Amino acid sequence: MKVESSMTTGLIFAPGLKHTQAGHPEHAGRATAVWDRLVAADVLKQMTVLPPRAATWDELGRVHVRQQIELVTQASLQGGGMIGADTYTTAETYQAAVLAAGSCCAAVDAVLNRQVDDAVAIVRPPGHHAGSQSVEGFCLFNNIAVAARHAQANHAIQRVAIIDFDVHHGNGTQEIFYTDKDVWFASMHIYGRQFYPGSGNIDEVGQRNGNGTTVNIPLPSGVGDDGYDDLMRCVIEPLLTDFRPQLILVSAGFDAHWRDPLANGNLTLNGYTRMINHLHTWAKELCDGRIVFIVEGGYDLDVLSLGVLNLCHTLVGNEASIFDPIGASPYPDTEIDSLLFKVQQTHLLV
């Protein structure tokens, strides 16, 4: 229960305005669309806006090899260009990327120092595809991984849960924590050889000390609101409860919405709100409400901005303001009963 006090929801904004490329789906207009929506809805007055800050090399170095940090630095010093097949840089990318990662650390600090109850980090470039030594999928540094390691290094936190509902597999996050028993990672994503990044099958469950702390839910296209809700309640909730997290971090991608141009998860904005409500509730039950939502993908600007607005309304308790002007999907949902059973068999019935 939210006590009537000075406690609020934190919001941190590191939009990476100069890390942008015309015609690329991951451009700066995504962040400004979100900001404009939050301002127009006047929700910021109910939130604590936190100042962004840059991550240090030591903070990045908890997750990434030095060569990766140097690669991004050099690319920016040379004025930018492509790193790999799909990830661009500009002269300002390094600065944007360290601000994105550092701001996620600042959001974690604000939550763990009890300056705020919970927080939303609207940061660019996104992070969940960046591995310990790989830049890919529009991601340079893994913001959520840097934030998780920061929580463990600077606060009395051992067990961190990361839930990734971006429509793409959080392959970088998985790789970084694959042998780690203290960071539990669950990802719900469309899976298939034709769909980026092509990893995240059900049998990828972690290794060595981390055996069982990676949970992959590989989805067909078109799952929709009820399927996602079933997975949240029947898989994520029992496993998360069992893990006993001290902090929950969420890779919040809004590209599983039916209108997203890169994928078809068939979710609606109301379906997103159901998932967010679950996570908010479980954070209150399991770890004193300590949860930070970090924005990842989402390439339809209305969906992304309304999705983040509804997220903010949910966390500050404006239930009556949550809305879905985009509405129901015109496509039928794909049934996932057998998949649900398989994931339960892998993780719950052993």
Say if residues 150 and 157 touch (Cβ distance below 8 Å). Answer: no
CB-based burial, 180-217: b 16+ in 10 Å, e otherwise: bbbbbbbbbbbbeeebbbebbebebbbeeebebbbbbb
Nearest in space to 178 (alpha carbons), one of 133, 203, 213, 144 = 213
Nearer CB in complex with Zn ion: 69/256? 256
Tell me the window of 18-26, 44-52, 145-153, 291-299 that interacts with Zn ion (CB under 5 A).
Answer: 291-299
Tell me the window of 20-28, 278-286, 297-305, 324-332 that interacts with Zn ion (CB under 5 A).
Answer: 297-305
Nearest in space to 254 (alpha carbons), one of 326, 343, 202 = 326
Pick the catalytic residue from 129, 150, 168, 169: 129
Question: 130-149: which residues touch Zn ion (CB under 5 A)?
Answer: none
Active site annotation includes 257: no
DSSP 1-15: ---SSS--EEEEEE-
Which pairs count as long-range contacts for 209-213, CB under 8 Å and 24+ apart, including other chains? 209/179, 209/180, 209/181, 210/177, 210/178, 210/179, 210/180, 210/181, 210/183, 212/347, 213/177, 213/180, 213/181, 213/182, 213/183, 213/184, 213/185, 213/243
Nearest in space to 169 (alpha carbons), one of 215, 226, 212, 236 = 215
Q: Does 170 bind Zn ion (CB under 5 A)?
A: no
CB of 189 to Zn ion, least distance (A): 8
Number of residues engaging Zn ion in binding (CB under 5 A): 5
Residue whose C-beta lies closest to Zn ion: 297
Tell me the window of 44-52, 58-66, 248-256, 320-328 that interacts with Zn ion (CB under 5 A).
Answer: 248-256
Tell me the window of 44-52, 144-152, 162-170, 306-314 that interacts with Zn ion (CB under 5 A).
Answer: 162-170
Say if residues 228 and 219 touch (Cβ distance below 8 Å). Answer: no
CB of 167 to Zn ion, least distance (A): 5
CB of 120 to Zn ion, least distance (A): 18
Q: Does 253 bind Zn ion (CB under 5 A)?
A: yes
Q: Please identify which residue in 26, 118, 164, 166 interacts with Zn ion, judged by CB under 5 A.
A: 166
Nearer CB in complex with Zn ion: 164/180? 164
CB of 293 to Zn ion, least distance (A): 15
Nearer CB in complex with Zn ion: 202/262? 262
Q: Does 168 bind Zn ion (CB under 5 A)?
A: yes
User: CA-to-CA distance for 10 and 292, rounded, in angstroms?
Assistant: 9
Omega prior to 197 cis, within 30 of 0:
yes
Nearer CB in complex with Zn ion: 287/308? 308
Nearer CB in complex with Zn ion: 168/347? 168
CB of 253 to Zn ion, least distance (A): 4
Q: Please identify which residue in 117, 164, 255, 260 interacts with Zn ion, judged by CB under 5 A.
A: 255
User: CA-to-CA distance for 246 and 229, rounded, in angstroms?
Assistant: 23
Binding site for Zn ion (CB under 5 A): 166, 168, 253, 255, 297
Active site residues: 129
